[in-house]
Structure 1
C-alpha cells in the first residue's frame, strides 16, 4: 500500500492531537513543538478511548480518561494503567501535505 494524504501540515495545531482515518485505521496526528509530525494509533490500549481527545505534553500523548501517557516516538506507554504500546506510523511530508501508510509501522 502507498501513503495516503491525510491533511496539510498547516491544518495541524502545535501540541494538539488530530484524529484521521486511513483505510479504516484510526490514527492520532501530533505536530510537536519542534515542528515534527507524529502518527500513532488513536486507540488507547487500556480503555478503547480515542487518544486524539487527550493531552499533548512534550513527546507524549496522554489519554484523557485514565491518564496513561504514550510516547509519540515509540508508542510505548510511560505509565499505568496501560501496559501495551500503540502502533507508530511512518510520516512523509510532501509539498506541505502529511502522508501516512497505515501498513508502515515503525519499529521501536
Structure 2
C-alpha cells in the first residue's frame, strides 16, 4: 500500500465530490463535514462516475440508476447496486489530500 497525492483541499471548495485519476485508478474524493473520504469513482452496478452523482448527507447517489452508497463505508444503502464501492484511507498533510492505494 502506498500513499499518493490525490488533490489539494482547495479543489473541493464549493463541491461535495470531485473525480480524480490517482496512480491509474479512478477515485472520487468527498468532503463531508470538513472530513475527506475516497471511494472508487465507478459505480459497481453499471459504468457511471460517482463524481457525477449527488451527495445527500453521508451518501452518494449514482447518476445512472440512482443506487445509493454510504460514502464513509462504501456500503450499498439502496439498490439496484448489490456490491459496495471500494473505499480508500485518506489523510491530509497541509493542504494536500493523500489516498492510500494498493501497489
**Stretches of structure 2 lacking an aligned partner (at least 5 in a row):** none
> 2:60 matched to 1:38?
no
> 2:63 matched to 1:75?
no
Counting matched residue pairs gives: 103
Root mean square deviation, CA, Å: 1.5
**Stretches of structure 1 lacking an aligned partner (at least 5 in a row):** none
Whole-angstrom CA distance in 1 between matches of 2:27 and 2:44 = 13
The question of whether the paired residues in 2 share the 8 Å contact of 1:14 and 1:31 is answered with: no
Whole-angstrom CA distance in 1 between matches of 2:68 and 2:14 = 18
Distance 1:66 1:17, change over 3 A: same
Q: Could you tell which deviates more after superposition, 13-22 or 91-100?
A: 13-22
Q: CA deviation at 1:23?
A: 1.5
The question of whether the paired residues in 1 share the 8 Å contact of 2:4 and 2:23 is answered with: no
The TM-score with structure 1 as length reference comes to 0.88
Whole-angstrom CA distance in 2 between matches of 1:2 and 1:77 = 27
Query: Equivalent residue for 1:59?
Result: 58
The TM-score with structure 2 as length reference comes to 0.92
Query: Equivalent residue for 2:47?
Result: 48
- Structure with the bigger percentage of strand: 2
Q: CA deviation at 1:14?
A: 4.9
4+ runs of 1 displaced by more than 6 Å? none
Query: Equivalent residue for 2:101?
Result: 102
Query: Equivalent residue for 2:9?
Result: 9
Q: CA deviation at 1:13?
A: 3.3
